[in-house]
Structure 1
Amino acid sequence: MSRFSEDELHTVVSRYEATRAQALTERDEQLRAFHAAGWRPVDLQRVTGYSRETVRQALRPEVRRATNLSRRRTPPRPPVDYRPYGDRKPYVTAETLAALHGPTKGTVTLPRHLDWSGHAEYDLNRPARLASMYKVVLTEASAVEDLHTWLNADLLRRLWPTLWLPPQLRQRWEDAFPELAATRSNAA
């Protein structure tokens, strides 16, 4: 960072922005000239490869100004009482890990209420598909019976450190079962 100053960086960016703005103005003037000579917007699109919106903004500068103004507005803020989805989702947690007696090998097909992706068949002998199934069951289970049917305590302990889970779900399970949190710290 010491080789270049902030002023030099600002100069580079300013130069780029100035040449970019000039090039955009020249291009738009040329497109308007072609349009005035009888070229239809659809022909300009076809030949230039520009989108319909780009051609529309080139032919009507006031549209570009309005579009750019609307993009610069600050995004709406969430309501004061807003809670992220992960905090509102009713994640299910097992009462005890000992009750988890799901399958450990072979191929299983999850019911539609758990996996509606169209790829609900999982080969438990493939580590990636096994982890994927556990993530789906943990995030989508609506009843403790889903957990008992599809999860296995030993596999859950083994997979826990590597599962990609919403933080709220992970926290709920680790609060209920500190041994899962310990598997994560042991894996690190």
Structure 2
Amino acid sequence: MDRYSEDELRAVVARYEATRAAALTERDEQLRVFHAAGWRPVDLQRITGYSRETIRQALRPEVRQAANLSRRKTPPQPPSDYRPYGDRKPYVVADALTALTGPTAGVVTLPRHLDWSGHAEYDLSRPARLSSMYKVVLTESGTVDDLNTWLDGDQLRRLWPTLWLPPGLRRLWEEAFPELVTVGTNAA
């Protein structure tokens, strides 16, 4: 490493870039000459093995310039009024925790409108599957009836601190049922 300097390495890269640019320019000029002599772009593509886009950019330098400029642009920014999907998604909140009288044991199969994953069967004796079912029902329910049918109020209170929920959904439920917040702080 001591025998060569950074400047020498930069010079190698600069020479390569200069010859590469010159070679591309020469190639494009030659392809334009062949095209002017009657060669069709499809034949140029077939014989050279270059892609259709490469041939198109070689024959029309303004296309290559536009493509290169578009690559250099910064990615588009969302509009100033953009809100993430989780903030826009309409969530449903139960009328009362006592109205949640869903199953507490056994194997439950959620209807397709709640769980279309192909794994809609939940063994409620397995804590991970129970939590997963509650998350699915809370995030995908479109009606209070869905909540009342598939969730149990006592079970929800017990699981609440450990459920991984979208912040907007958690906030709505905790505003409607402040006791869920105290359950979370007591469990921690």
TM-score, scaled to structure 1? 0.64
The answer for the alignment partner of 1:149 in structure 2 is 149
Q: Which residue of 2 aligns with 1:78?
A: 79
Residues 1:126 and 2:90 aligned together? no
One-letter amino acid of the structure 2 residue matched with residue 145 of structure 1: D
Q: 1:170 and 2:174 equivalent?
A: no
Q: Distance in 1 between matches of 2:67 and 2:180?
A: 51
Distance 2:64 2:112 in 1: 47
Q: CA deviation at 1:105?
A: 1.2
1:74 offset after TM fit, Å? 3.9
Matched, 1:116 2:116: yes
In 2: Cα distance, 1:68 partner to 1:153 partner: 59
Percent identity of equivalent pairs: 67
The amino acid across from 2:117 in the alignment is S
TM-score, scaled to structure 2:
0.64
What code does the residue aligned with 2:77 have? P
Superposed counterparts of 1:86-101, under 5 Å: 86-101=86-101
Letter in 1 for 2:85: Y
Query: After superposition, where does 1:19-38 map in structure 2 within 5 Å?
Result: none
Displacement of 1:133 in angstroms is: 0.5
User: Match of 1:142, SS?
Assistant: coil
Question: Structure 1, residues 47-69: CA drift from partner, whole Å, max 9, x if none?
Answer: xxxxxx9xxxxxxxx99876564
Q: Secondary structure at the match of 1:180?
A: helix
Distance 1:66 1:187, change over 3 A: farther
CA-to-partner distance for each residue in 1:87-127, whole Å, 9 max, x for gaps? Answer: 32221111110111111111000011111111111111111
Cα distance in structure 1, aligned partners of 2:146 and 2:165: 17
Q: Please state how far the C-alpha of 1:187 moved relative to its aligned partner.
A: 2.6
Q: Which residue of 2 aligns with 1:138?
A: 138
Structure 1, unpaired ranges of 5+? 1-13, 29-39, 45-52, 54-61
- Which segments of 5 or more consecutive residues in structure 2 lack a partner in the other structure? 1-9, 25-44, 54-61
Superimposed CA distance per residue, residues 6-31 of structure 1 (whole angstroms, 9 cap, x where no aligned partner): xxxxxxxx9xx98xx89x99xx9xxx
Give the ranges of 4+ consecutive aligned residues of structure 1 lying more than 6 Å apart after TM superposition: 62-65
Between the two proteins, the alignment pairs up a number of residues equal to 166
Q: What is the CA–CA distance in structure 2 between the aligned matches of 1:64 and 1:120, rounded to whole Å?
A: 51
Letter in 2 for 1:98: T
2:28 corresponding residue in structure 1: none
- Structure possessing the higher radius of gyration over alpha carbons: 2
CA distance in 2, matches of 1:181, 1:63: 59
Distance in 2 of aligned mates of 1:133 and 1:169: 15
